[in-house]
Amino acid sequence: MSGVYARRMRRFAVLAATAAIATATTLLTAPAAQAAMPTPVSAATARTYLSSLTVQAEGSSSGYSRDLFPHWITQSGACNTREVVLKRDGTSVVQDSSCAATSGKWYSPYDGATWSAASDVDIDHMVPLSEAWKSGASSWTTAQRQAFANDLTRPQLIAVTDNVNQSKGDKDPANWMPPLASYKCTYVRAWVQVKYYYSLKVDSAEKTALTNALSGC
């Protein structure tokens, strides 16, 4: 256990140092790798989409389970959705015969950190599964929820630092935004696009946060 603890402490130290300098250095240096999430709609389009979304109090989480959103499904051969995103979003990614990433580099646009082990990277659902459930997905079929949880076409899946993804949890933009300020515009554009495509609702605080963020894009 001491080895695991030491490893976590080293990673926390890296994250803390990265957060302190990320915003200042973003415009001066190029990251080692760039996430290749599908480009979100423009800010103008996102504002139009947002204005058309139904505003409604967030629904109940009663009955919710991640198992109701089957993931990660097989995409091709031995490769599931997670491995496809790791390959897509990384640089010089090497995969073994089972499609598992054995080496590579992953740049997390949420916090500006770069990782060389796939175990340090989570695949984030831009609109979290629980958030989707409370916004309308509770009435979907399992097939619809599976499509949402494995969507490679919309800006819904992205490889990011695992600890940062865990800090986000199922929070919407009224309660969580990426630590790296330069990515917030991309983040809210993607969020709105996904909610619009899947006809998901927004609550009033969420809409206010999105409106304010998009006004600066």
Average pLDDT over residues 140-163: 98
Confidence band of 73 (pLDDT split at 50, 70, 90)? very high
Average pLDDT, the chain: 88
Per the CB < 8 A criterion, the answer to whether 144 and 151 are in contact is no
Give the model's pLDDT for residue 13. Answer: 39
| CB atoms closer than 10 angstroms to residue 155 | 23
pLDDT over 90 at 33, yes or no: no
Confidence band of 1 (pLDDT split at 50, 70, 90)? very low
Average pLDDT over residues 38-54: 98
Q: Please classify residue 142 by burial: count the beta carbons closer than 10 Å to its beta carbon, then call 0-12 exposed, 13-18 middle and 19+ buried.
A: exposed
3-state percent helix, strand, coil for the chain, nearest multiple of 5:
45, 15, 35
The parent domain of residue 39 ranges over 2-215
pLDDT over 60 at 179, yes or no: yes
Instruction: Record the pTM.
Output: 0.84
Give the model's pLDDT for residue 35. Answer: 53
pLDDT over 80 at 116, yes or no: yes
Cβ-based neighbours of 106, under 8 Å, separated by 6 or more? 33, 35, 86, 89, 90, 91, 114, 115, 116, 118, 120, 121, 159
Q: Provide the token pair at 121.
A: 């990277």
- Range of weakest confidence among 1-15, 20-34, 82-96, 197-211: 20-34
Average pLDDT over residues 134-157: 98
What is the rounded distance in angstroms from the CA atom of residue 90 to the CA atom of residue 191? 22
- Range of weakest confidence among 5-9, 141-145, 207-211, 213-217: 5-9
Give the model's pLDDT for residue 7. Answer: 40
Give the model's pLDDT for residue 6. Answer: 40
Cβ-based neighbours of 152, under 8 Å, separated by 6 or more? 38, 75, 81, 84, 85, 88
Give the model's pLDDT for residue 36. Answer: 82
Structurally, how many domains does the chain consist of? 1
Give the model's pLDDT for residue 18. Answer: 38
pLDDT over 60 at 98, yes or no: yes
Average pLDDT over residues 197-206: 98
Give the model's pLDDT for residue 21. Answer: 34
